[in-house]
Structure 1
Amino acid sequence: MKKFMAFLAAMIIATGVSFTNKNTAKADDDTTPVVTLGSSLTSSQKQGTINTLTQSLNGASYKTITVTGSDLVKYLNPSGETFTTSSGVWSSAMIQKTSSGSGINVKILDYNGSNNITTITANQYKNAALTAGITDANIYITSATPIDGSGALAGIYAAYAQSGNTLNQSQVNAAQSELNTLSSITQDNKNKDGYSDAQLNNAVAGAKADMAKYGSNITNNQITTIVNNQLEKNNLTNVITNSQKQQIINLLITIKKSGALNSNSFKEQAQKLSSQIQEGAKSIFNKLNSQDTKNWIQKIIDAVINFFKGLFGGVIVLK
């Protein structure tokens, strides 16, 4: 939180910041939202992007920075991407500080009526932001052209860097690996019965909260147990493949190694994220909870039947 507040204040005087609305932010106004614009946008696309991202501000002040291919190279290539300094950037974002304990909220906004973020979901962005070390913020994401959206958070990372309070690069790397892993699993299971992106991201957020209880000393075996439990809670045990489960385990081990668990707020933010995901997909989780209740009742019935079968040595049939 302190880093984020310092970042917003420093952005006012940082080199490369331009003001695009008529209101001028005061130097001590550390609540001013920051808009990050892809360098490949045309003038009309930039204005359209600003209009899209700032619509919730109702005319309030904001600041802008431009995200270039160099930012993609700096923040995303260490996690295995292959951007160059001449790479195009279209996906853009706005970050807005919120009150302590409010968690990370992400909305993907349509641009001229179309959702142009083709691959990454809002829940995937939320989990990645948590891993990167971002806390208590509203993040809005859009793109003027169809794009996977992997570069949108690079703008947020770049904004932090301009304040002199950079995020832990290991956590940023883990966050980008998380985006790639979760989006890949969701794409592989698209339209598969019993699967939803909300279930996967809720399982991962829940696993992070469970990991935080152990801290950085958690073992890989404990992480494996946590993943198995979370997949069961989210009814994904028999839906995703063993290979995909191992990818999740490996991802969480990477997150542990990144130092994310050293944050005092990580557990709270992870729990809040899980609640937000469930709130945003009530129909899915109400159905899962209903199924869990049925399974629990069935287990009790099975236990009673097995008890009497053992007691009398016969077969009991319920009609």
Structure 2
Amino acid sequence: MKKLNIVLLSLVSLITFGIFTTQSVKADSLSDQPVMTLGTSLTDSQKQGTISALSSQISGSDSNYTTVTVTGDTLVKYLNPSGSSFTSSSGVWSSALIQKTSSGSGINVKIVDYNGTNNITTITADQYRNAAITAGISDANIYVTSATQIDGSGALAGIYAAYASTGNSLNQSQVNAAQNEMGVLSGITDANKGTDGYTDKQLNNAVAGMKSDIAQKGTNITVNQITTIVNNNLQRNDLQNIITDNQKQKIINLMVEIRDSGALKNSNFKKQASRLSSDITSKAKNLFNNLDTQENRNFIQKIWDSIVSFFQGLFN
């Protein structure tokens, strides 16, 4: 009898283990079929226009997509935990299409014009990309559009809902950090509109670099270490004299929140952040080559030293 109980217990354990191992999924994975999220406030005409704008970005087998409707309740569920104050009756117009890509391809975001106009007024493509990394998303093409002028937060809530619709809900702590990140970065960019020597790409490149450096240190990284990393990346992007102390503290607080959200436990986090930084830099070579960074100053100094040495040799 005792042996029978042991055998039965072993079988139950194996079956239970088998169930949980076969049902476990990566939080940042997505089904092979693209998911389109549509704001519930769209009129029939706007809905068709939105579908046309987003579906034009994909072709072939990817043309078959599933649809998720984003409502006020969706905003409440995903955005309010980070401090937003949406209600069930809140309107949603910004929409998105998310498409799974091959491993290592990174996150790519395109803001698609609606009838020839970019109606996403606040959130930039690089801000969407940075937030997606923080939320735990990896290797995806994301297309965003809106039939009316709007900040674009509804589209990101829709992206979170798209993952949930495939049974792969994202970590809410990371989603909260991602939403706070959107607020911090868009706020800094808005405050520095027209400021000489500032671009949104510099800030997002700096933040991506911060994430990569923090991930390299691991989950036990201290606030002092985070502060040093923030300062170093702001300097690398020539923002040290533009970002105010208050804005810098917000960035430091954000990095601490990202550390505490569990994002650093994801092996893809560092890779995605590094890839984003490299991509931003490569797509804006002229901007980053002309920055008055220490690296560029050292390079220019070496050229000048060579010129001086050359002429000194002639005169000697």
TM-score (norm 1): 0.84
Paired position in structure 2 for 1:39 = 40
Given that 1:4 and 1:97 are in contact with CA atoms closer than 8 Å, whether structure 2 keeps it comes out as: no
Match of 2:242 in 1: 239
How far 1:299 moved relative to its partner?
8.4
Quick one: structure 1 residues 242 and 296, their matched pair in 2 at CA, closer, same or farther if it must change by over 3 Å? farther
Moved more, 34-43 or 158-167: 158-167
Question: In structure 2, what is the equivalent of residue 68 of structure 1?
Answer: 71
Mark the CA change 1:229 to 1:49 in structure 2 (over 3 Å): closer, same or farther. same
Q: Normalising by structure 2, what TM-score?
A: 0.84
Distance 2:302 2:82 in 1: 45
Q: 1:265 to 1:200 in 2, by over 3 A?
A: same
Paired position in structure 1 for 2:107: 104
> Does 2:142 match 1:172?
no
- State the Cα distance separating 1:296 from its structure 2 match: 4.6
Decide whether the 8 Å contact of 2:236 with 2:293 is kept in 1. no
> How far, CA to CA, are the matches of 2:207 and 2:186 in structure 1?
13
Counterparts of 1:50 and 1:289 in 2: how far apart (Å)? Answer: 44
1:153 matched residue in structure 2: 156
Paired with 2:97 and 2:27, the residues of 1 have a C-alpha distance of 17
State yes or no: 1:212 paired with 2:215.
yes
Structure 1: how far apart are the matches of 2:258 and 2:26? 22
Structure 2, gaps ≥5 residues long: 1-24, 306-316
Map residues 160-199 of structure 1 onto 2, 5 A cutoff.
160-199=163-202
Shift of 1:281: 1.9
The letter for the 1-side match of 2:41 is S
Instruction: Please report how far the alpha carbon of residue 86 of structure 1 lies from its aligned counterpart in structure 2 after TM superposition.
Output: 0.6
Contact 2:235 2:293 survives alignment (8 Å): no
* 1:150-184 CA-partner distances (Å, limit 9, x unpaired): 11110011121223321100000000000000000
Structure 1 residue ranges without an equivalent (≥5): 9-30, 303-319
Which one has a bigger Cα radius of gyration? 2
Q: Establish whether residue 287 from structure 1 lines up as the match of residue 284 from structure 2.
A: no
Which structure 2 residues correspond to residues 102-141 of structure 1 after superposition, within 5 A?
102-141=105-144
Quote how far apart the aligned CAs of 1:2 are: 3.8
More helix by share: 2
Query: Does structure 1 retain, via aligned residues, the 8 Å contact 2:213–2:229?
Result: yes
Give, in whole Å, the separation in 2 of the partners of 1:291 and 1:216.
Answer: 29
CA distance in 1, matches of 2:65, 2:192: 39
Question: How many matched pairs?
Answer: 280
Contact 2:236 2:294 survives alignment (8 Å): no
Shifted more, 100-109 versus 279-288: the winner is 279-288
Equivalent pair of 1:39/1:66 in contact (CA under 8 Å) = yes
Q: CA deviation at 1:295?
A: 4.4
1:221 is matched with which residue? 224
2:311 alignment partner in structure 1: none
Name the CA distance, whole Å, in 1 between partners of 2:113 and 2:294: 34
Residues in 2 aligned to 1:221 and 1:271: alpha-carbon distance in whole angstroms: 22
Could you tell me which residue of structure 2 aligns to residue 256 of structure 1? 259
Counterpart amino acid of 2:201?
A
Cα distance, 1:64 vs. partner?
Answer: 1.0
Query: Separation in 2 of the partners of 1:213 and 1:261?
Result: 9
> What's the secondary structure of 2:197's corresponding residue?
coil
Inter-partner Cα distance in structure 2 for 1:278 and 1:95? 24
| Code of the aligned partner of 2:237 | N
Aligned-partner residue type, residue 273 of structure 2: A
Show CA shifts across 1:263-287 (max 9, x none).
0111111100111111222221121
- Given that 1:174 and 1:251 are in contact with CA atoms closer than 8 Å, whether structure 2 keeps it comes out as yes
